[in-house]
Amino acid sequence: MEQVLTLVCKLNPTLSQSEKLEVVLHAFAAACNYTNEVVKPQITSKATIQNVVYEDLRSKFGLAANLAVRACARVGANRLVAKKKGKPVKAFTAVFT
């Protein structure tokens, strides 16, 4: 069986780094919301979602390749959970503390 380790660390960004992180977090949340709006609600497969919106996420939101892929996966995972609970996916927000 594969063992998974998790490392938790506290970031101490400079003001400039903090501002840049906040921009990226807002772009990621906006990309997730866009994806959730554009892709048919019944689609939960991250690969299918990625085929539909990947290029848009890169160009419209300026996301790096990994973040565009992660946005697709986040929307797909949230849709699966919402489907199991019989509820719609709520809006994605940027949380930075």
Residue 6 lies in a domain: no
Residue 43 lies in a domain: yes
Residue 68 lies in a domain: yes
Stated pTM of the model:
0.86
Q: Which residue has the tokens 């903090």?
A: 18
pLDDT at 96 over 70: no
Count of structural domains, the chain? 1
Question: For the segment 27-83, what is each residue's pLDDT rounded down to a tens digit?
Answer: 999 999 999 999 999 999 999 999 999 999 999 999 999 999 999 999 999 999 999
Range of the domain at 76: 15-85
Residue 31 lies in a domain: yes
Q: Letter for the amino acid at 26?
A: H
Residue 90 lies in a domain: no
The token pair at 89 is: 């996916």
Question: For the segment 11-34, what is each residue's pLDDT rounded down to a tens digit?
Answer: 899 999 999 999 999 999 999 999
Residue 32 lies in a domain: yes
Split at pLDDT 50, 70, 90, the class of 97 is low
Residue 1 lies in a domain: no
Residue-averaged pLDDT of the chain: 94
Cα(93)–Cα(49) distance, rounded to whole angstroms? 19
